[in-house]
Amino acid sequence: MIDIKLLRTDPDKVRGALASRDKKFHPTFSLDEIIAKDGEYRAALAEIENLRSRRNEMSANIQKAKISGDQEAFKQAMSAANAAKEAVKSREESISAMEKGLRDMLLTIPNLPDRSVPVGKDSTENIVVAEHIEDKRDFSFKPADHQSVGEKLGILDFERAVKLSGARFALYRGLGARLERSITQLMRASRRIIYRNIRKPLFLNRPGFPRFCSAIRRTGLYRRLYRGRRVLRSRALL
């Protein structure tokens, strides 16, 4: 998800970057709609801050009325404070919904291409920047690409990968997954690369991955994951 600050400060930059991408990658909502929604959200935030300030002011008036013993002023301050409290509660609920709606709209904006990437109609117009070939072989036949070889060997599954993550992803199976892990282990053993090992949690929460959570809910995977988590919790109690 792009930084909303970029959309606020330089919307033309975002428009220009998206214009260079294929239309199928364009956001579901127009940038003008998203900017307008953000304006409404920020205005609502300013409004609720004023209401909170008013509520605090009424609370101070209640204390003053108590000290002075003015029952009429006390009743008026209590009534105003309750009204301010209800107004703040109502606005907080609407702001929460506005924030979620704005976030969902921002999630439809794809990543912006780097300025160094040339614009082309498709991958056939890609520019070769560099080649590192020590021993280029000539074949008497047309060699198959890695995708065809991987599918024939049953180590790559692009059809399932598309359903899971979209185009240009691969699902590694059997020896393919083993090969991938072996390459990763080789990289870890290399002394030329210095990094820190991190093992992430196995489960994700909604704020941590909203798009993923939305996707697994649509596919019904959420119930299976949740059921699996309940089983793990039950086992932990044994």
166-202 residue pLDDT tens: 778 899 999 999 999 998 888 877 766 677 777 877 7
From first CA to last CA, the distance across the chain in angstroms is: 42
pTM surpassing 0.85? Answer: no
CA 28 to chain centroid, in Å, comes to: 15
Region class of 166: left (phi > 0), else alpha (psi between -120 and 50), else beta: left
Q: What is the CATH number of domain 4-106?
A: 1.10.287.40
Kindly list the distances between the CA atom of residue 184 and the CA atoms of 28, 131, 181, 192, in Å, as whole numbers in the listed order: 37, 23, 5, 14
CA 84 to chain centroid, in Å, comes to: 35
CB 210 within 8 A of CB 103: yes
* 131 against 211, higher pLDDT: 131
Nearest-angstrom CA–CA distance, 233 and 238: 9
- Least confident interval from 34-43, 144-153, 192-201: 192-201
Kindly tell me if the per-residue pLDDT of 131 is higher than 90: no
7-18 per-position pLDDT tens digit: 888 888 888 888
Q: What are phi and psi of 134, to 5 degrees?
A: -80, -40
Nearest-angstrom CA–CA distance, 111 and 114: 9
Nearest-angstrom CA–CA distance, 226 and 35: 36
Report the pLDDT value the prediction gives residue 80, as an integer from 0 to 100.
80
* 125 against 207, higher pLDDT: 125
In the block, tokens 């560099």 appear at 130
CB 150 within 8 A of CB 176: yes
Neighbours of 198 (CB within 10 A): 5
Is 12 buried (19+), middle (13-18) or exposed (0-12) by CB count in 10 A?
exposed
Torsion angle, CA of 229/230/236/237, rounded to 10 degrees? 170
- Secondary structure letter of residue 110 according to DSSP: P
Confidence grade of residue 153 (pLDDT, cut at 50, 70, 90): very high
Nearest-angstrom CA–CA distance, 69 and 207: 49
